[in-house]
């Protein structure tokens, strides 16, 4: 009877293994049956036949025949049990291999995804750096044109015959400015708005039509007529300035801009040409002449491409506060070139 129960147990275990094998076959492509599988099928067929014979023996109450049949099938049962164990190990190995392969594929996919993200991030960072680098450009700025004076003096100076307010020659008085400026675009894409800033040297040349010259009397500035007849008198003032402006592009090449500037006086020279007997004298004098060291003003421009009409106006007085009441504001009109 023990052999009978052994047969039943092995038959049930074999059915379980075959079911697992069938599930594996359903999940994977169909392959040819292995030698172990063929042996198990053959052994199960034999067990089935023997179980039928056992049933017949039981029905005929032939116990001795049953025992004989159990003994004959013992060798086959042991072989089948061994084959079942081999197949179970093979199934387990295959499942482990499939799991490792899946994990490896997932790992490779994650690694590829991470690498792609890093690559895209590097590209985005590079584009951002290029965009930032292209936003700001350095250029040389040149301006030249005419200089004039707006005389807001409230008094006419001391009661002396030699006193005279300055009057400039409109076409002989000029200005020149050269600077290094940065232009930075604001906004995304093809922005039309930009800020300009930098460092410039501004030079005003004022040629006086009424031949006055600037003197210091009692430590106060005053314009007087020279003792000798003069051919020309001029006052040159140089400033180191910090310009700041806003510029807006119109259409493909048009532009308009407004801005402000502040500067410090670094040069003031007076030039006088006169005749002394048979000699023609060119006299150059350098002094501060009571001039304001610091200036500030506003400017505007409108143009096409790299050329524009420009205008400057000094909001600050050309002179420091003085007893003679001089309030004179220079202005410039000219052309601006950007390179």
User: Per-residue pLDDT tens for 29-69?
Assistant: 444 456 666 766 676 677 667 667 665 655 554 555 555 65
Q: What is the band of 255 on the pLDDT scale with cuts at 50, 70, 90?
A: very high
CB 46 within 8 A of CB 73: yes
- What pLDDT does residue 24 have? 45
- Which residues, in sequence order, are bridge partners of residue 74? none
Stretch 296-305: mean pLDDT: 97
- What pLDDT does residue 214 have? 92
Q: How far apart are CA 284 and CA 122, in angstroms?
A: 63
Stretch 239-261: mean pLDDT: 95
The closest of 224, 217, 177 to 198, measured between CA atoms, is 177
CA distances from 233 to 153, 168, 328 (A): 21, 10, 18
* pLDDT mean across residues, the chain: 78
- What pLDDT does residue 225 have? 86
Stretch 287-312: mean pLDDT: 96
Q: What is the band of 27 on the pLDDT scale with cuts at 50, 70, 90?
A: very low
Q: How far apart are CA 230 and CA 225, in angstroms?
A: 9
- What pLDDT does residue 187 have? 77
Task: Read off the pTM.
Answer: 0.60
- Percent pLDDT > 70 in the chain is 59
Q: What is the band of 74 on the pLDDT scale with cuts at 50, 70, 90?
A: low
User: Per-residue pLDDT tens for 198-209?
Assistant: 999 999 999 999
- What pLDDT does residue 159 have? 45
Q: Coil, helix or strand for 33?
A: coil
- Which residues, in sequence order, are bridge partners of residue 182? 138, 197
Stretch 193-197: mean pLDDT: 94
- What pLDDT does residue 71 have? 58
Q: What is the DSSP letter of 212?
A: -
Stretch 258-271: mean pLDDT: 97
- What pLDDT does residue 178 have? 97
């Amino acid at each position: 009877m023990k052999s009978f129960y052994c047969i039943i147990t092995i038959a049930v275990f074999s059915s379980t293994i075959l079911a697992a094998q069938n599930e594996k076959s359903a999940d994977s492509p169909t392959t040819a049956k292995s030698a172990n599988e063929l042996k198990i099928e053959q052994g199960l067929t034999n067990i089935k036949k023997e179980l039928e014979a056992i049933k017949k023996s039981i029905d005929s109450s032939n116990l001795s025949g049953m025992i004989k049949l159990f003994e004959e099938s013992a060798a086959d049962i042991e072989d089948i049990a061994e084959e079942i164990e081999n197949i179970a190990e093979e199934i387990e190995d295959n499942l482990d291999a499939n799991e490792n392969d899946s994990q490896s594929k997932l790992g490779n996919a994650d690694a590829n995804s991470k690498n792609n993200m890093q690559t895209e991030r590097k590209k985005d960072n590079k584009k951002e750096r290029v965009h930032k680098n292209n936003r700001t450009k350095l250029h040389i700025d040149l301006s030249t044109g005419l200089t004039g004076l707006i005389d807001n003096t409230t008094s006419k100076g001391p009661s002396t015959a030699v006193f005279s307010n300055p009057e400039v020659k409109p076409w002989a008085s000029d200005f020149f400015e050269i600077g290094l400026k940065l232009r930075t675009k604001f906004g995304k894409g093809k922005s039309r708005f930009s800020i300009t800033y930098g460092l410039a040297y501004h030079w005003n040349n004022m040629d006086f039509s009424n031949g006055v010259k600037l003197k210091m009397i009692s430590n106060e500035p005053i314009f007087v007529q020279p003792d000798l007849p003069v051919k020309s008198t001029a006052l040159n003032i140089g400033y180191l300035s910090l310009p700041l402006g806003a510029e807006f592009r119109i259409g493909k090449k048009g532009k308009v801009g407004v801005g402000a500037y502040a500067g410090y006086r670094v040069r003031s020279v007076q030039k006088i040409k006169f005749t002394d007997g048979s000699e023609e004298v060119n006299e150059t004098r350098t002094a501060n002449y009571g001039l304001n060291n610091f200036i500030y003003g506003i400017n505007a421009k409108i143009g096409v491409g790299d050329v524009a009409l420009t205008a400057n106006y000094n909001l600050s007085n050309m002179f420091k506060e003085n007893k003679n009441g001089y309030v004179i504001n220079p202005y410039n009109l000219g052309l601006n070139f950007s390179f």
